[in-house]
Amino acid sequence: MKFKLAFAGPALTGIAAACLFVTAGTALSPASVAQDANADARTLRPAASFQSIANEQERSVALFTEAGKVIQHPRCVNCHPATDRPLQGASMHPHQPPVFRGDGGMGLPGMQCTTCHSAENIPVVGQADTVKSIPGNPAWHLAPIEMAWEGKTLGQICQQIKDPARNGDMTMDELVEHMAHDELVGWGWNPGAGREPVPGTQAEFGELIRAWVDTGAACPAS
Amino acid sequence: MVTFTLNGQERTFDGDPDTPLLWVVRDFEKLTGTKYGCGVAQCGACTVHLDGMPRRSCITPISMVEGSEVVTIEGVSGKEADAVKTAWAGLDVPQCGYCQSGQVMSAVALLQMVPKPTDADIDGAMAGNICRCATYHRIRAAIHNAASSMEG
């Protein structure tokens, strides 16, 4: 192209200029803005980057809002259902086959989580593109009903996870530890083939929660 | 090499460790009572007992079975299994029959855990075993009959 342009007349140069214009226009198109938004949905801002918010309470809310990209992701909410039935998939539909909470959130007698789920994600072969693996983790189970997140706003979830009666009687330090290191929480970043992981890394998520607690654990208004 | 117990006998498998237990049972052990239905744990046709618990063999890599006890429809035994077999024959539960080995394995496991199940217990335990002939009403009745027969 450059070689041709070097020997081209004004007409071809004009076309090239038009191409450059179109290219520049593409960079600012709604589609690329959407791509940026998608990339933003897959990553977490570092906790340190929130230092630019001078007001501590506003910073705390902003930190939790960023962590909310993980907390409200289907990978997390699907096993924090508001009923006794887990949800499934990116569309968060009721789990198929129909399974229910049971003792300890591990299913009913004869149809427990471990009837199908293993200690690790199990790839399947020879299936439709929409089914690539069966998710699994050694601790696979539903969150207790008092920890239900389904249908709640981020502000409601925020208040809930600070409440010992609804967070498994955890102190804030224990909550940070749970978010930052719990193995089943960590599954969200390693959900197996065919499933979108939650944004960022568990370490980044843990740092956001730590910083949120350190700034007073303020909650979004809604 | 994976070593496990199949219907009371020690067996080994030295193929790909990702091979589903279902294929080991059917293709290598030639026990074809356990059926392939969906391959993704959605239908229950491949149900076996793994260390005494119902398990979908189609999504169970053989590597996971190391040191475990596997029981298939060919080897299931005990008072619950006897009661289920008698009740199944008594009500002529199967229609086409394809799903029935999975149904029986789930029913036996339920009765081992809950000897006198309610309708809700039965629905909860059997919800993952699909029957295209819709023999569900007879399955539920047969499980009740099996439970009753074990009381006496």
pLDDT of residue A13: 38
pLDDT < 50 stretches in chain A: 1-28
Burial-class residue B147 by CB neighbours within 10 Å (0-12, 13-18, 19+). buried
Non-local CB neighbours of A22 within 8 Å, separated by 6+ positions: none
Using CA atoms, how far apart are residues A82 and A147, in angstroms rounded to an integer? 8
Of chain B, the percentage scoring pLDDT greater than 70 comes to 99
Mind listing the pLDDT tens digit for each residue in B131-142? 999 999 999 999
Is B35's Cβ below 8 Å from some Cβ in A?
no
Q: How far apart are CA B126 and CA B107, in angstroms?
A: 7
Q: What is the mean pLDDT of residues B124-148?
A: 98
When the pLDDT of each residue in chain B is averaged and rounded to a whole number, the result is 97
Contact call for A109 and B110, based on CB within 8 A: yes
At B47-93, the pLDDT tens digits run 999 999 999 999 999 999 999 999 999 999 999 999 999 999 999 99
Nearest neighbour of A134 by CB, restricted to B59, B109, B125: B59
Q: Does B115 touch chain A (CB under 8 A)?
A: no
Contact by Cβ (8 Å): B105, B54: yes
* B2-71 fold: Ubiquitin-like (UB roll) (3.10.20)
Each residue's pLDDT tens digit, A28-84: 455 555 666 677 889 999 999 999 999 999 999 999 999 999 999 999 999 999 999
> Residue A41 has what pLDDT?
83
CATH 3.20.20.80 fits B79-151, yes or no: no
CB B131 within 8 A of CB B93: no
Contact residues on chain B for A192, CB-CB shorter than 8 A: none
**CB-based contact B110 A110, cutoff 8 Å:** yes
Which is more confidently placed, B101 or A16?
B101
What are the boundaries of each domain within chain A? 1-42, 47-214
Which residues 117-146 of chain B have a CB within 8 Å of chain A? 121, 124-128, 130
Residue B118 has what pLDDT?
Answer: 98
A116: distance to nearest CA of chain B, Å?
A: 6
User: B interface mutation test: which of A101, A108, A131 has the most B CBs within 10 A?
Assistant: A108
Assign B50 to helix, strand or coil: strand
Q: Kindly report the CA angle at B132 between B130 and B136, in degrees rounded to 5? A: 60
**pLDDT confidence of residue A109:** 97
* Alpha carbons A54 and A50: distance in angstroms, whole number: 9
The answer to whether B2 touches B63, Cβ cutoff 8 Å, is: yes
ipTM of the prediction greater than 0.85, yes or no: yes
Asked if A187 and A29 count as a contact pair (C-beta separation under 8 A), the reply is no
Q: Are the Cβ atoms of A99 and B127 closer than 8 angstroms?
A: yes
